[in-house]
Structure 1
Amino acid sequence: MSETKKPTAGATTGRARRFGLADRVLMPWTLTAGDPASGGQPMEKFMNQHVNRRSIMGASVGLAIAMPSAAVAAATAEVGSANLPTLAAGVSPELQALKKAFDRDFRKFEKVREVWDAAEQAYLDIMPPRPEHIVADFEKSLAYIAAKGRGQQIDQADVEYIEEITRANKERKEAWEAADEAAKQQSGFADADAAYGRQHWLTSLAANRILGFKARSFDDVKVKLQLHRKWGFDIGRLVPKISADINLIAKAQRQSVSRGTTAVTA
């Protein structure tokens, strides 16, 4: 959930078994620019196996809960506890507005996810098994490749044999893809998955706007850490952002101590 990734058309469990949030972590995506309403397209083809998305989410939530203290500790070590301000200035109005926007998108996302979960299960119940790939005879394949590589004339029988194997595998693959697409349509998973991809992208954008906001107080930092518990940012992005926020607040504290203020001015 951490990175903002704009989905492209056709991100369905069938084309590359995308199990919602887990798949965004486990499988690379092919991303293109364009309409965010188009969905997402993972790189790999479906492997005919089910990944337990809820297990991945459980592990992610556990990591998210442990992350805030680690982030603050890392930032405090960098800044030095003596330089940290002791007063809070409240949550910045701009950040409050960003938080409200995220909450709206997240509520929509949760509703879409419920529909997605039901549609996924319906799809899995009728999903066609992936056909086995026909393996050509090793000796004939070796002779074909060797002759072709040396520029020698290839035995016509070997040519016909290899072409037949290739044709049979192609037909099997196309037949399975058609049946798989029909299963997605019948179960409602195709539409649910496209809606899931769109809403995930929009919610991720809203979350990253909050992460990118320059905190003006520790209340602002707290908002980011609370959001991390809910959405789960990439740790490699979260810790530097929190460290930079604490550095900024500490710098403002040093500069404004003579005026008796602690909030970071715009």
Structure 2
Amino acid sequence: MIAIRTVLLLSLLIIVTLIMLPLQLLGLAFDLKLRRYLPRYWHKVACFALGIRVRVHGRLEGKRPLMLAVNHCSWTDILVLSSVADVAFIAKMEVSEWPIFGTLAKLQKSIFIRREEKRSSGEQVNDIAARMAAGEIVVLFPEGTTSDGNRLLPIKSSLFGAAAMAVPLAPEGVVHVQPVAIAYTGIHGMPMGRFHRPLVSWPGDVTLGPHLAGLLKVAAIDVDVCFGTPIAYTKDSNRKRVSATVESDIRRMLLSKLLGRTIE
């Protein structure tokens, strides 16, 4: 039964992809607004196919420019967040060369950066700032890598440079930085503890094939997406202070959902 269900759901995803792909390519070719919101519908289908049920808490900030600062546990974070918001991701250049994920990232017009090339960092930050000023919601994973899903790793304040660069381009001189926590909290309708969280967490030494196979076998994961209080980033803002506030807010929201109780 698991094999039959997997084939049926993956067939559904392939059919939807074949229908949406030409439209997305057209949107990318002519920079149509279609390219921004079409991926949201594809990711909703992808979450359904993988058995990922998303619950949203709080609200996405409506003001622009907007940067979302999000904790990072797995490649499924991309599916989850993209299913509830029209976003563009900041990713390391290596992602563009990954099979499947690289293609999907390009189709969503992700922003690829080379962290090790300091000479081109200014140009990359300018590109991010311009995209935000144009009204796109940019997603930043400030931890810089994936965690085990049970905690938040220290975040890198330097990655908020794009928000600072976008301030002069913002109509009101304000860039809104919104903390967001993604917490994997349930499996087959039961609370997910540390024992089961490796089913969704994706550290660097785990290959995609077995990880995807494990998710398809379970096909019943609950995830909570918490939108926190946006922070106004202006020319007078202190990047490290903003970074510390974002880190505190994400950690509080993440632990509240993982532990099932309010954390102050």
TM interval, short-chain normalised: under 0.3
Larger radius of gyration: 1
TM-score by length of 2: 0.20
- More contact order relative to length (CA 8 Å, sep ≥ 6): 1
Higher strand share: 2
- Structure in which a larger fraction of residues adopt helix: 1
TM-score in terms of structure 1 length? 0.20
